[in-house]
Chains A and B, each alone.
Chain A
Amino acid sequence: MLCRTANDLYWASRHMERAENTARLIDVTLRMALLPERYDRGKAEAAPWRRALDALGIADTVRERYGIIDGDTVLKHLLLAADNPSSVYSCLRAAREAARAQRVAITAEMYEDLNASWLEMRGNSWARIHGDGISNLLEWIKSRSASFRGVTIGTLGRGEGYHFLQLGAFIERADWAIRLLDIAGSQHNGDAQESQDAADYFRWSALLQSLSAFETYRRLYRESVSAQNVAELMLLQESNPRSLLTCTHTLHNVLQTLAGGEAMEAVRRAGALSAQSRYARIDEVLGNGLEAWLQDAMTRLTGLGEEIHRQFMVSTDIAQTAQAQSQSAA
């Protein structure tokens, strides 16, 4: 398969997954913004929205561009901004363009599905979204992502193309598992113990709901919602389809298939990352500091993404030329 094809497929599914997770991020943020001020210091200053932007590392960009950070600016930026390459609008456009360029490598139904999503998104406006209600749009985005995933699973042959679509989706989903846990964990509670408990419950359950994981939680833990259990569910539980373990385990499997027995750095990295989630204990993770653990996982995940790119999407002739140039420059 051409490097360009692998790259386009990887990014088509990555962008769809990103759109879906952006919808989920907005969902959890909207829910948190419902919490009264005394449970959430700084709420009046739009703290939930700032935290959402911090999770994406774009708070400064948004502040510079719009002058202020409030609910509406964040929503516009994440949903509709054509100049934000990660907005839902841009994601659907990029996924559709990649699919159009790779029509030969995917099924007609996959292209039609992405084309339909893009054509509808293109006709959206802030006034219309506001009129119909944000929730409807978020549901629509999630269902478009589900539709593409379903059409892919149901129609595309299990070849290299399928594997690269899988890689893109699961790298992106792993990334969000870490980010979403990070925002819910970084909220500053009010002071009173009573309000702290209530706030804890509220924010963790909001996170579970936005990830459609509330039912899974109830089935697994049969007890009240706690930070420790949610973190375990998000990071270490194989039964959660969006957990870091599920994502990294899938990445490892797919990469092993692609490597076909060949020793490959990407396989090693994915295996190590998957083992780190599989054999960790949540009490140890929290005991040593959740934030540091998440930071480390994110670094490794980013490294894995770069390694996948280097292994499959850059032709060896270009890699050699670049290497030769950097050597002669040195």
Chain B
Amino acid sequence: MPNGFDEMHDLDGAVRPHYQVFDHWLQSTPEAQIARKRREAEIAFHRVGITFSVYGEDSGNERLIPFDLVPRIVPAGEWRMLEAGLRQRVHALNLFLDDVYGEQRILREGIVPRELVLNNSAYRLEMRGIRVPGGTWSHISGIDLVRAGDGAYYVLEDNLRVPSGVSYMLENRRMMARLTPELFNRQQIAPVERYPDALLEILREAAPGGIDNPVVAVLTPGSANSAYFEHAFLAQQMGVELVEGADLFVRDSSVYARTTRGPQRVHVIYRRINDEYLDPSVFRPDSLLGVPGLFDAYRAGRVALANAPGTGVGDDKSVYPYVPEMIRFYLSEDPILHNVPTYQLRREDDLRYTLDHLAELVVKEVHGAGGYGMLVGPASTKAEIEEFRQRILARPDNYIAQPTLSLSTCPTFVESGLAPRHIDLRPYILCGRRIHVIPGGLTRVALREGSLVVNSSQGGGTKDTWVLEGGA
């Protein structure tokens, strides 16, 4: 495995220019003071209750996602490229969604295989022919980026369903501003604090036509959900109601909230529950989380859902290899951000190659998420590889494979002091009348030495992400 790209140091071990202010602070701050700040961060996160609960654990045992004091810093020039690339990619993905549920030009022209889309379990037949306002399907997107050994960024995956984690982006920034205010004075760090405001703006823009002052609500599965903190946090930051399915009802194709002053119309729902659970009368009938009749109201144009149902077909791993083609097809532009080279095991050649090189590759389920159901070849035993081989052979079309990227590393506080740990980056993109790319994102870090899995459910931590303004 090639050595990872070190975000802070160049090959000679010298501190990169955009990390110099931070490095100076690190060298000139006594160790005891840094230890105190790290403790302070932990206590503060516990107190505020920024925790996520793990399924199956007692409700009193919400866990804290570890926060690391060393930020990921992105120089201005690099961010300009990333921002343009993210804007382009999310724009194309929205056009793709609008197309596959509408005219299906991209399928007719054979750019994306028809069966890959139409037989995809994330493709919602119910959405066929529906025109969404402004053609925006994915209002809130999170695009996972990694930086490989050569220093180039790659898109690891797109998240167009209900991407989470943005509350950590905001809380991590608040924490850094509190712990190291001097660093914000010594350099220009782009603010991320406007996120809730921009989110409210695009949600209001999504409202059905003719509504002057739309009522927005955040729909949560409830306080047992692992991301409940984030749902509550966003509702609070936007100043809108946080509702559960049972708080809403549908009458005459309109959605109402059950309030102390009687039924109140709701025009826009930022739903944080999956498609299948939205409306038991259309999707999963056993869902207790949704609202019967919601889909009917949505189809009648009486309520907006963000994101639209059916966006999952845009971030499916089997569709992912075609995103660069989508960009060329819809925008007639060259993709700015690159995909990780991907083998599609439904293709015979790719399958053969993958089976011969399992020990070097990462194999993922096409519908998997959260770091579950994947094989990291170089980190697996022979027995694990053989077991996975059988799973692939049983259903090749259920898998894709990619070369094992050596994710870039960033110095991180661990028990023995500062040590390099692998990181990724999830910027958030909001689509309304305009596309807002928030300058920053959630940096996740794999705290175990050598580990490439950054998911919080697998013991990952987070860092603040600083986008520098001005300069290269």
Instruction: Spell out A's residues near B (CB within 8 Å).
Output: 1-4, 6, 97, 100-101, 103-104, 108, 111-112, 115, 118-119, 122, 160, 164, 258, 312-313, 315-318
Does the CB pair B48–A108 fall under 8 Å? Answer: yes
Contact stretch, chosen from B72-80, B150-158, B259-267, B389-397? B259-267
Q: Write the nearest CB–CB distance from B288 to chain A, whole angstroms.
A: 14
Closest B residue to A316 by CB, please name it.
Answer: B262
Query: In B50-72, which residues have CB < 8 Å from any A CB?
Result: 59-60
* Complex interface: chain A residues within 8 A of B246 (CB): 4
Closest B residue to A321 by CB, please name it.
Answer: B249
* Complex interface: chain A residues within 8 A of B60 (CB): 118-119, 122
Pull 11 A–B residue pairs with CB atoms less than 8 Å apart, ordered by A: A1-B259, A2-B259, A3-B259, A97-B223, A103-B236, A104-B241, A104-B242, A108-B48, A160-B260, A315-B262, A317-B258
* Complex interface: chain B residues within 8 A of A100 (CB): 59, 223
Q: Write the nearest CB–CB distance from A262 to chain B, whole angstroms.
A: 10
Report how many residues on chain B are interfacial, defined by Cβ distance under 8 Å. Answer: 27
With an 8 A cutoff between CB atoms, is B160 at the interface? no
Does the CB pair B236–A104 fall under 8 Å? Answer: yes
Q: Write the nearest CB–CB distance from B220 to chain A, whole angstroms.
A: 10
* Complex interface: chain B residues within 8 A of A111 (CB): 49
With an 8 A cutoff between CB atoms, is B47 at the interface? yes
* Complex interface: chain A residues within 8 A of B223 (CB): 97, 100-101
The answer for the CA separation of A196 and B160 in the assembled complex, in Å, is 78
Does the CB pair A2–B241 fall under 8 Å? Answer: yes
* Complex interface: chain A residues within 8 A of B263 (CB): 315-317
Does the CB pair A104–B235 fall under 8 Å? Answer: yes
Query: In B65-118, which residues have CB < 8 Å from any A CB?
Result: none
Does the CB pair A315–B243 fall under 8 Å? Answer: no
* Complex interface: chain A residues within 8 A of B229 (CB): 103
Tell me what chain B mostly uses at the interface: helix, strand, loop, or mixed. Answer: mixed
Does the CB pair A6–B260 fall under 8 Å? Answer: yes
Does the CB pair A97–B251 fall under 8 Å? Answer: no
The answer for the CA separation of A101 and B235 in the assembled complex, in Å, is 13
The answer for the CA separation of A318 and B263 in the assembled complex, in Å, is 10
The answer for the CA separation of A122 and B60 in the assembled complex, in Å, is 9
* Complex interface: chain B residues within 8 A of A3 (CB): 247, 258-260
The answer for the CA separation of A267 and B133 in the assembled complex, in Å, is 46
* Complex interface: chain B residues within 8 A of A101 (CB): 222-223
Closest A residue to B240 by CB, please name it.
Answer: A104
Closest B residue to A4 by CB, please name it.
Answer: B247
Query: In B218-277, which residues have CB < 8 Å from any A CB?
Result: 222-223, 229, 232, 235-236, 241-244, 246-247, 249, 251, 256-263
Of B47, B48, B232, B247, which contacts A104 at CB under 8 A?
A: B232
Closest A residue to B223 by CB, please name it.
Answer: A101
Query: In B333-370, which residues have CB < 8 Å from any A CB?
Result: none
Q: Write the nearest CB–CB distance from A147 to chain B, whole angstroms.
A: 15
Which one of A2, A100, A108, A122 has the greatest number of beta carbons of chain B within 10 Å? A2
The answer for the CA separation of A258 and B261 in the assembled complex, in Å, is 10
Q: Write the nearest CB–CB distance from A168 to chain B, whole angstroms.
A: 14
Closest B residue to A313 by CB, please name it.
Answer: B260
* Complex interface: chain B residues within 8 A of A313 (CB): 260
The answer for the CA separation of A1 and B217 in the assembled complex, in Å, is 12
Does the CB pair B249–A317 fall under 8 Å? Answer: yes
* Complex interface: chain A residues within 8 A of B256 (CB): 317
Does the CB pair A315–B258 fall under 8 Å? Answer: yes
The answer for the CA separation of A160 and B259 in the assembled complex, in Å, is 11
Closest B residue to A164 by CB, please name it.
Answer: B260
Using known A-B contacts A112-B47, A119-B60, A122-B60, determine if residue A103 contacts B232 with beta carbons closer than 8 Å.
yes
The answer for the CA separation of A160 and B263 in the assembled complex, in Å, is 16
Using known A-B contacts A119-B60, A122-B60, determine if residue A312 contacts B260 with beta carbons closer than 8 Å.
yes
The answer for the CA separation of A17 and B246 in the assembled complex, in Å, is 28
12 further A-B contacts with Cβ under 8 Å, apart from A2-B243, A101-B223, A160-B260, are A2-B247, A3-B258, A6-B260, A100-B59, A101-B222, A103-B232, A104-B232, A111-B49, A112-B48, A313-B260, A315-B262, A315-B263
* Complex interface: chain A residues within 8 A of B236 (CB): 103-104
* Complex interface: chain B residues within 8 A of A315 (CB): 249, 258-259, 262-263
The answer for the CA separation of A223 and B263 in the assembled complex, in Å, is 56
* Complex interface: chain A residues within 8 A of B257 (CB): 2
